[in-house]
Amino acid sequence: MEKNLQDLVEFLLKVPLFSSVPSTQIDQIADLFKRETYQKDDIICRQGDPGDSMYVVRSGIVSVFKEIEGKEIYVSDLKRGGFFGEISLLSDADRNATIRVSLDTTVYCLTRENFEILIKNNKSIGLYLSRYYAKRMVLETKNQPGKKNGPVFYAVSATGPNLGGSHFLYTVSYHISDESEKRVLVIEPHLEPERIMEKYGLARIVCPDPGLFTLLPENSYRSEDIRWFFHESGFTVLQLNKGFSDRLSEVVPVMMEELQQNYDIIFVNLAHYLTSMERLFVRLCDRTLVLMHNTHETLEDVRKRLGEIEQICGSRAFLGRIRAGVSHLYGQKGIPRQEMKTLLNLPETPNIWVDRSDDAFNDRIDTKKCFPVKGARAVAREIAGIRLGIALGAGAARGWAHIGVLKVLEDAGIHIDMIAGTSMGALVGGIYAATASVDQLRKDTIERLPTKRAARKKIFDYTFPIQGFLQGGKAAKMVRKAVNDADFLDLMIPAYLVGVDILKGEEVVFETGDVTDAIRSSISIPAVFSPYKHKGRWMVDGGLLNPVPVDVLLRKGADMVIAVCIEPRSGGRGEASRAPGIKEMVFRTISIVHGRATGDFAKNADIVLYPDVKDHGWDDFHKGISLMRYGMEECFEHIVEIKKMIRSKGARKGISS
C-alpha cells in the first residue's frame, strides 16, 4: 500500500465515526476517499446546494453557519476528525448549512455513491450517526447559537523600522497575561539574538509540550531551529528559523492548528517588509494589527503597505480583519489622526499604540497599569475581552450620584474603558472622559454649585417659555470650561453621548465633533431646556428614547457593562407637601417615563446600580455632595460583585469577539 494511502488508513482509524469499523474494512474503504485542500475563507459547500458528498476534516478548521430568517448564524467549528455533509446524503435533501474555512484545511471527500457503499457494508456507522445526532440535538437545545469564539491569531506588522513594534507586541502580551487568564503565545518567525529577549525580560526554557508538532510532516523542521522563551507574567515566545520555510503552505497551517489547542491568543511578529512567509501569516491570521508611521514623508509607504495587506486579506478586509494604530516614535510632529483617517481611507480614526517613552526607546515592556487606559494596554484589554463600560443614566440634578459611583471605582483601581451617557449622565460622563479624574470632575461641577443661589446663577438662564424654561447657555458654558473646549478625539476615555432628534423621533449617538455641543444636545429636557440645534437637527434629552445607554456600549464592543440608573424603579418620587407646579409636573412626568423604561434598557448590563436618590428634586444641583454620597454607598455595596465580574471575564472560558 502506498504511503499516502497508509497515512489515510491510520488517520481514519482515529476518527470516531470509523472507530467501530474493523481495520481490514478500513483498508478496503480508504481508496474511496478523495483528498481536497481549501484556503482560509473558502466556502466548501453552501446551505441550499444539492448534497452530493460528505467530508472528513484531515487538518485545519472549518466553521458551520446556518441561515435563519435571512441572517447567517454561527453554529460550531469542526476540527481534525470532524465530518459534515452526511445529512444531505442520508435524507436526500439539500445542504442544511454553509461550511466556511477558518484555517487552511485538508479534507477527505466521499461521493454519494461511495458513501452508500460504506453505509451498506458497515451498519455500525449508521448506529454511530444516530447516537451522534441525538447528542447534538441535546447540545443545540442547551446552547444558544450565534456566538463564535473570538479571534485567536493576530499578525502584527509595522510599516517601517524603528516604530517600536516589538515593544508594542510584548507590552500587549504582558497586559493580556497580567489582567486575564488567557494563554498567550508570540511567534517570532525569525531568530533574534538572545540578548534581545533578555532586554524584554524573557528567559530561555525547554519546549513546554514536546507533542505540539506531532502532526507536522517528517523532515519539515529541525529541533535546533526552535527556541522557547517565557515571561514571568505568563506569556510564551516561540522563535522559528528557516526550517519552517521550506514547506510553508503545508507546515504552517498544521502548526497553527496544533498551537490553537494549547493557547487562547497567538501573535505573529512580522518583519516590516512582506516576504512570502509574512504574506502567508497575514492570510492565515484572523486579524492583522498594523503599526503605522505618522508623518507626511512616509504616508505613501503606509498607503502601499495597507494596500498590500488588504489585497492579501481580501477586498472586505478593513471591515474587520485589519486594524491600524499609530506610532509616535518616528517624527516630532505627526499627521493628526483624523486627517490620517481621511488620507488613508480608514474606516475609523486610528488610535495611538506607541507613544514616546523610555520603555519604547529602550526595548522594555511597559508594565504600568495607568489610567486612563490607552496604547498597548487598551489593545490588550480589547483582545482579552475584558473591556469595562459604564452607562450613566438620565436624572437631572440627581445624576450627581454618578460622581460617587465613579469615585468608588477609581479608588478601587477599577479602570473604565468606555463611557456612554444620557442627559445628566452625558454631562457627568463627558466631563469625566475629558479629565479621567473624579477630583477634577467634582471641582468642575458640584463644587462650583455650593448653594441653591449659586446653582441658579450658574445654570438657570430663564427665558420666555416658548420652547423651554431655560436657554441652556449657562450650563453649556460650564461644560465647555470643564472639558477645555474638547473634541471627542481629545477625550482621555472613549465616550458616546445620546440625544434625540425631536422632529424625526430618532436616537442620535454623538462620538465625533465638539463635546460640549453633544452634552448640550443630550441634556435638553423637553419643556425645561430649550431644544438645541446641532448640525441641522433639533436635539432634546436622550433619555426620551434611551434612559440608560447600555446597548450603545455593547455595540461599541464593551465586554462587561455597569449601568447606573438614577430614576427610581417605581418611576416616581416621595410625597409632595404641596401641589406641583408646571416645572415639577414636567419633570415628574419625564421621571415616571424614564423610571418605567429604565429596567428594560438596563437588563443587558452585567451589574445595575440604583443610588437611593428618590427624595431629591430634579433641580437640587446644590446638593451635589449629598447625592455623590448616595452613589458611593450604592457602589460600595456592589464592589465585591463588580470585582468578581471582572475576574470572571478575564477567565479563559470568556474570550469574546
Q: Are strands 265-269 and 184-188 parallel, antiparallel or unpaired?
A: parallel
DSSP alpha helices (H): ranges in 321-444? Answer: 337-344, 358-361, 375-384, 401-411, 424-435, 438-444
CA dihedral 273, 275, 281, 287 (to 10 degrees): 30
Query: Residue 617: CB partners within 8 Å, gap ≥ 6?
Result: 397, 398, 573, 584, 587
Cβ 202 vs Cβ 300: under 8 Å: no
Distances from the Cα of 139 to the Cα of 75, 135, 360, 654, angstroms: 11, 6, 48, 19
The total number of residues shown for the chain amounts to: 657
- Give the residue among 192, 200, 205 at the shortest CA–CA distance from 170: 200
Taking only Cα atoms into account, the Rg of the chain, rounded to an integer number of angstroms, comes to 29
DSSP E strand boundaries for 270-311 = 287-292
> In which residue are the cell numbers 478496503 written?
28
- CA dihedral (133, 137, 143, 145) positive or negative: positive
| CA distance linking residue 398 with residue 396, whole number of Å | 5
| CA distance linking residue 270 with residue 323, whole number of Å | 15
Q: Which three cell numbers stand for residue 592?
A: 415616571
Phi first, then psi: what are they for 575, rounded to 5°? -60, 145
Helix (H) or strand (E) holding 38: strand 34-38
| CA distance linking residue 425 with residue 411, whole number of Å | 20
Query: Which residues form the catalytic set?
Result: 423, 541
Give the three-state DSSP class for 362.
coil
3-class DSSP string for 125-170 = HHHHHHHHHHHHHHHHHHCCCCCCCCCCEEEEEECCCCCCHHHHHH
